[in-house]
Amino acid sequence: MESSKITIIDVAKKAGVSKGTVDRVLHNRGEVSAKSAEKVRKAIEELNFVPNVYASLLASKKPKTIICLMPEFTEGEFWEKEYKGFMMGAAQVKELNINIEFLFYDQYDTTSFVSASEKVLEAAPGGVIMPALFQEETHKFAQRLQEAEIPYFYVDTKVMDDDNFLGYIGMPRRDSGKVCAALLTGNCSVDDVKEIAVVRIKREGDPTKRRRIGFMDYIKENFPQAKVTNIFIDPADPAQTNAEMAKYFEKHPKARFMVMFNSRIHLLADALAARKGHRMTVVGFDDLPRNLELMRQGLVNVLIAQHTEEQSARAIQTMADYLISKKKPEVRDNYVHIDILTRHNMENY
């Protein structure tokens, strides 16, 4: 038998003792006769049994806590998918004495993030998992985590000039921006792309900055004459969004290219519906139900997506591995596939 497939039950059978006896010998808890202990040790040697480090953690009965520091969300938003992934991961590590706790903050308010990060430090968890929506504030927080010797893991976005994080999982942000630009412009000639609308959220910080940089790199290289117009909208004010979009289309009645780098292309539903029938290419991000519905209606051409739940579940598992056995991920930057959804493949994603 391969040593990796041998279990404590195999050792118990080989030694002619109970599973509990083997467990007591493995963790040196006494209450085992010298004769039985010798049988167990001999069976372990003959079977080349390697004790499971997870079982060792269970035996130690020393629970560890991972805090997920993340934005507040409502049903159907991107961060709900992230939260569900964390809960999937929590279920997978529950029996390992790993507790998952959450601290939430307003993703549009740096003060809210700083307040939540202070609570994390007060709790002194075994590890922290978080996105980096506010680069400067997250960097300062990460430095304090380092001082407190608390490992931390980034999901979805990370601090670009941080070299001390345990790991990151998410899209390669800059590359995803380049892919977005290529999909938006397709096989267009240089003369075809004269104006591009980039719809952005009014907010503190800019978590889509790297994606926008990659997008602009591609446009400048391939369509240097194209004018890129930024339209800023308030996600909490639909009337303001519709007014800003109407103002743009009034000035650019022949507008053909529009992109939004975050998960909220669905905020443009009314404005895009009003333009239905016009020749437009619209690209957004993330497979939220409301975004998919716009694609079904033919208002959005492409969504760039990722398996968000699987990513955050993997982050939990990776942090658990580190807390249990100090096992670091083989690669710190775990870049995921950049998935491209259209009306032709969206239903099976």
Q: Which two tokens stand for residue 89?
A: 């991961």
> So what's the pLDDT on residue 6?
80
Which residue type does 271 have? A
> What is the architecture, at CATH level 2, of domain 173-305?
3-Layer(aba) Sandwich (3.40)
- Return the domain boundaries, the chain: 2-51, 64-169+308-335, 173-305
The number of CA neighbours under 13 Å toward the Cβ of 340 is 12
Separation CA 347–CA 349 (nearest Å): 6
Which of 3.90.550.10, 1.25.40.20, 3.40.50.300, 3.40.50.2300 is the CATH number of 64-169+308-335? 3.40.50.2300
Q: What is the pLDDT of residue 54?
A: 54
- CA-wise closest residue to 83 among 335, 321, 313: 313
pLDDT at 55: 58
Residue among 119, 133, 146 nearest 263 (CA): 133
Confirm whether 2-51 and 64-169+308-335 share one CATH topology: no
**Nearest residue to 210 (alpha-carbon basis) of 129, 131, 303, 149:** 131
Residue type, 306: Q
pLDDT at 325: 81
Q: Tokens 């591609």 label which residue?
A: 218
What is the pLDDT at residue 231? 97
- CA-to-CA separations, 278 to 42, 176, 257, 274, 275, in angstroms, rounded: 78, 27, 11, 9, 6
List C-alpha distances in Å: 146 to 103, 108, 339.
Answer: 19, 25, 34
Q: What pLDDT, in 10s, does the model give residues 315-327?
A: 999 999 999 888 8
Give every residue of the chain whose pLDDT is below 70, as ranges.
1-5, 27-30, 51-61
CA quadruple 307, 312, 313, 315: dihedral sign: positive
Alpha helices by DSSP H, the chain: 8-15, 19-26, 34-47, 53-60, 78-93, 110-123, 135-147, 173-185, 209-222, 238-251, 269-274, 289-296, 308-325
CA torsion angle for 12, 13, 17, 19 (degrees, to 10)? 40
Angle between helices 110-123 and 135-147 (to 10 degrees): 10
Domain 2-51 class in CATH: mainly alpha
> Which residues are CB-neighbours of 111 under 8 A, at least 6 positions away?
none
Beta bridge partners of 285: 304
* Six-digit token string for 149: 């010797």
Angle at 343 between CA 342 and CA 345, to 5 degrees: 70
